[in-house]
Structure formats: structure tokens, C-alpha cells
Amino acid sequence: MPAELTVGVATPLPAELRGEVLRREPRIRFLVEDELLPPMRFPADFHGDPDYRRSPAQQSRFERLLAGADALYGIPDASPAALKRAVDANPELRWVQTMAAGGGSQIAAAGLSSAQLERVAFTTSAGVHGRPLAEFALFGLLAAAKRLPRLQADQRRHVWPAHRRPMAQLGDWTVLVIGLGGVGSEVARMLAALGANVIGMSRRLRAGLELSEWVPPERLLEVVGRVDAIVSTLPGTERTAGLIGAEVFERIQAGLTFVNVGRGSVVDERALLEALDDGWVGFAALDVFATEPLPAGSPLWEHPNVLVSPHTAALDPGEEFRIAGLFADNATRLLDGRRLRNLVDTLEFY
């Protein structure tokens, strides 16, 4: 096994977090020049300031730095094209850690050869965002159950209704959680704690999940008609693209709640809007969209029964610390010859 792992810092990584990684795994040697990385605007801002530009000389230095690394912390400039250049230029590169839980889509977009995909291990930050995203999913479900849009409308108009209005209880609901990875499993756990009937959907049943029922994806159309809410935590892949579309919305119960904390590409937004307008979807809480940023002209912005979150549900002050810890653990695994966590499936890229 190698005595040291040389890591090219390809995305912003504050000095204190580099120190934390080295504390956990002292066999790492970082290759980093902070002036070659865009300034962070907020915690876990791995894209950095969009106005940042390298000079041609700086860009050359940055690419030479990455070409001398055994591993990369992040995808350079969060760009599939830059990742392709880095892999092409460095035949010794062995591992790339992506910042996103769904980093597989960036790797797919890089267009790497089969030999490169076999040579370089790619890992994601899956699991790091599980609790924050699950909390947002729960928030969306509660907003629907407690009639948040109606409460806000009454408050804006200073209306105290003449008759008391009942609210739903999540403990009385049946919720379909589509995708049982780190996020979906945490959503299921939280809902089970509230007494909800949780149906989990995934290709394989994982042990230890708190489910009332498990079904494979082939039964999606069969089960959607008997649930009060759907939570999607699915990654964006060819297999999941447009999975939740008109066929699904035609079979749901009127007033269903829909929450998406996975990827926007999973949902046919036109079909979702039609279901919202017709009342078949009573409320939607969306953190992700087919096009991001969500275009200013999208009807989702103004829809009275839609909660729009600008893909920030996973962001919390501890996110970058947890990703750094995951990276340190995987570095130890690589140095010790053990299997890495969160390896990307380079056939389906998730």
C-alpha cells in the first residue's frame, strides 16, 4: 500500500477543514493554492463566486497542480468538461470525490472512456445530506397536512374564519417514499416515528428499514392510488428520467401531497402542473427542478399550492464538515486497500 496520498484540491476547501482531514488521516498531502480557487460565498459553496476568473497563467498552474495528484477533492470548477481534462492529463489519478450526493450525473456528462472509468474510482457525498433533506421532506408533508397555504392566505387578509377548520395528522397518512438510500431511509424513519404508514420503493430491500411495506419500482402505478403523499428521493439517471409523470398523476387520489428532494429530472413538470391545477395534487414541496435556476417564467413560482425551495434544503453549516470527514474516511480506506464508501455505479451513474 502507498505510504501517502497526494490530493489535488479542485474545489474550495477552507484551511481549517484541510486541517481536520489531516487530523483524521495524516498520510494525505494536499496540493492546493487558494488563489486558484473561487472564494466561497456561504458554507458548502463548492461552486464559489461565479464572477471569479483565473488568468491564463493561473489556469495553467491549476491544471498542472491537478495533474500531479493521486486523488481530487471535488470536480474541478464543478464542470464535467474540466473533469475530463483532468482525467485525460493525469494517468496516475486514482480517485475523485464529488461534493454532491448525486455526483454521478456530472461524471456521466464528462464522457470518460471505459478505460478511464475503470482506472479512476468516483465517490459521492451520499448520506451527508440525509438528515437535512429528510427534515425538508417532513416539513413539506407537515405544510400540506396543516394547510399552510390556507393559513398564510388568511393571515395576509387578516381573516379569522367563522368556523374552525380541521387539519390532517401525518400519523393517519400513508406515504410512499420512492428511493431508499440515505435520504429515503431517514424520511421513512422520521415518518414511522410519527405513526405514518410508510411504503418504501426501491430496487432492492435494505435491512433495518422502518417500513410498513416494501415494493419494487415495477409496482409504482399499482400503489400510487392508495397513498396520501409521495416523497421522491431518486437520483437523476436515464432510468429515472420522467418516471413521475402523467401516468402516475392519473392514478393518484385527489389532493395528494408531492415532495421532491431527489432530482428534478425525475418529474414531468408539465404533468405535475396539470395535476396541481386540477386538484389531484393538493400541495407540492419542491427543492429540485428540471431546469435550475427555476426560470422566472415558470408557473411553479406563483402557484398557490406549491412551495419552492431553490435547491438549498440540504444546506446547513455542518455540510462541508461532514463531507470533509467522509473524504478522510475514504482516503484511509484507499490507503489501506479497503473498499471506498459511496462508489458511483459507472453503468447507471448513481
Q: pLDDT tens digits, residue range 163-174?
A: 999 999 999 999
Q: pLDDT tens digits, residue range 272-314?
A: 999 999 999 999 999 999 999 999 999 999 999 999 999 999 9
Q: pLDDT tens digits, residue range 133-186?
A: 999 999 999 999 999 999 999 999 999 999 999 999 999 999 999 999 889 999
pLDDT for position 142: 98
Q: Which residues contact 306 (CB under 8 A, 6 or more apart)?
A: 276, 283, 284, 285, 286, 300
pLDDT for position 1: 58
Q: pLDDT tens digits, residue range 30-45?
A: 999 999 999 999 989 9
Share of the chain above pLDDT 70, in %: 99
Residue 208 has pLDDT above 90, yes or no: no
Share of the chain above pLDDT 90, in %: 89
| Alpha-carbon gap, residue 95 to 338, rounded angstroms | 13
Residue 3 has pLDDT above 90, yes or no: no
Q: pLDDT tens digits, residue range 83-127?
A: 999 999 999 999 999 998 888 889 999 999 999 999 999 999 988
If residue 157 lies in a helix (H) or strand (E), which one and from where to where?
Answer: none
Length of the chain: 350
Say if residues 288 and 231 touch (Cβ distance below 8 Å): no
| Alpha-carbon gap, residue 188 to 211, rounded angstroms | 7
Round the average pLDDT of the chain to a whole number and report it.
95
Say if residues 99 and 40 touch (Cβ distance below 8 Å): no
Q: Which residue's entry shows cell 385527489?
A: 254
